[in-house]
Structure 1
C-alpha cells in the first residue's frame, strides 16, 4: 500500500498504521496494569454487574476524562505541532499537578517514562523534540503520547479518538476480568460506547481553558482507598 494514500478524512495510510500502533494495548508501557479507580469501585460494590460497569465507564468518561485529560491532550498536540515549548511544559506541569492521589500520579509518570524511552529507542522524534521531552524531570503520559502524535504527523482529531478508545477499552477489560463479564459482553459494551466516545472527543476539542475541570472527589477517594486495599490485581 502506498503510504501517501489518503482516506476521506485526510489521514495517510502510514498515519493510520502509526496511530494503531501507538494506541494499541500491546504498546509496552503497562497500561493494562491500571484500573484508574475501577477496581476499588468493584471491591466496595459500587460496580457489580454489566449495567453498572457501563454506567461507571460513561460517567468517568464524561465527568473526568472529557473534562480534563482529553482537553489537556488536545492542547498538548497543538503545542507539540507548533513547537511551542512553553505551552508543552505548562500543560504537562498542570496535568501532573492534577493527579491528586499517589497512585494516579505514579500511573501517569510510570507510563510517561516508558513511552519516552520507547520514542527514543524507535527514533520517531527529531532531535529538538526528543531533547525537550527528555529535559523534563517527570513526563506525564499525555505529554509523551502527544509528542509521538506530532512526530508521526497523525491528525489530532483521530489521535484524540484513539486515546479515548484505548482508555475505554482498558476499562472494559478490567470489567471482563473482575465483574466478571464474558468476552462477547465486553465487546458488546465497547461497541455501545462509540457515540459516548465521539461526544467526549467533540467536547474536549471545544471546551475553553476556563471551563476545564479536574474536580472528581469521589474518584480521588476511591483511588486513596485502593492504595491500602488488601487484595488487588491493578496498580490503581
Structure 2
C-alpha cells in the first residue's frame, strides 16, 4: 500500500483539526467559563488579552510542546509498514503490543511515549483538565481507528495498545508522525485550531458578535510566529510550566453554580 500523498496528508490534517471533528472538544472551555462568570473576561478587549496570555504562558509550554515531543519520539520508530525493512512485521491491532522482532530502540520509544503521557497527566493539576485530555485522546483514537490509513510506520498502532490513559496532545503527535505529516504543518494547524476554539468559546459565552470573534482570531495570528519561535527554545524541562492563574480558574470551575462546559 502506498503512503499518503502530500495532498491527502493536508486534507487529513484539516479533518483532524476541524471544529466539528467528533472528539468533544467543543464541550471544554479550559477555565475560560470561570473567567467569564467572575467578570474578568467580559468583552472583546479582555477576551483578546485572555487569548494572548493563554497562548504565550500556558498553551505553548503545555499542549503545543507535548505535541512536538510526541511527534519527535514517534518519528524515530523504525519499522515501516510498506518498505523493505528487514525486520518488517505485519500490523495487527489486536495482537500484543510487543512483537517478537521489535527492536530495543522501538521498545524504548514506546516506553518514552508512555512516560510522556504520565508526565502530561501529572502536570495537569486541575482534575477537569486531566479528564479532558484523556477523554479527547480516547475519542480521537476511536474515531481514526475506523479509517484505513496507509501509515508510513506502525508507531500509532503500537502506541494505542500501550496500557494507561492517552492524552489528546500525545495521541495527535504520534498519529501525525505515523501518517508522515510534516512537523511544521502539523504544529501550525494545531495552533490555529486551538486558538480558533478559544475564540469560539468567547463568542458563545461572553458573548461576543461573530464579527468581533473573527477580528480577535485574525489579530491572534500575529502571535503565532512568537509562539512557534518560543516553542523552539523549549524542552522536556519546560513541560508543565503554567501560569498559576489558569490552573486556579480551572479548579474553581469544578465548583461553579452553573456550567455550560465540562472544564
Assess same fold via TM > 0.5: yes
| Equivalent residue for 1:71, pick from 65, 68, 82 | 65
Residue 119 of structure 1: aligned partner? 144
Worse overlay, 54-63 or 76-85: 76-85
Residue 180 of structure 1: aligned partner? 207
Are 1:143 and 2:170 an aligned pair? yes
- Could you tell me whether the CA contact under 8 Å between 2:17 and 2:190 is conserved in 1? yes
- RMSD over equivalenced CA pairs, Å: 1.7
Residue 169 of structure 1: aligned partner? 196
Q: How does 1:1-236 map to 2 (within 5 A)?
A: 4=5, 12-83=6-77, 84-124=109-149, 129-236=156-263
Residue 9 of structure 1: aligned partner? none
| Per-residue CA distance 1:93-146 (angstroms, 9 max, x = gap) | 111111111100110010011011112111435655313213232000011111
| Per-residue CA distance 1:66-118 (angstroms, 9 max, x = gap) | 12221121111111111222332222211111111110011001001101111
SS of match in other structure, 1:122: coil
CA distance in 1, matches of 2:224, 2:32: 18
SS of match in other structure, 2:19: coil
Unaligned runs of 5+ in 1: 5-11
Q: TM-score, normalised by structure 2?
A: 0.81
- Could you tell me whether the CA contact under 8 Å between 1:18 and 1:152 is conserved in 2? no
CA distance in 1, matches of 2:119, 2:238: 15
Query: How many residue pairs were aligned?
Result: 227
- Could you tell me whether the CA contact under 8 Å between 2:123 and 2:240 is conserved in 1? no
Q: TM-score, normalised by structure 1?
A: 0.90
How far 1:212 sits from its partner (Å)?
4.2
| Per-residue CA distance 1:171-224 (angstroms, 9 max, x = gap) | 101111111111111111111111212221222133233344423221111111
CA distance in 1, matches of 2:62, 2:252: 22
CA distance in 1, matches of 2:158, 2:237: 31
Change (3 A) 1:102 1:200: same
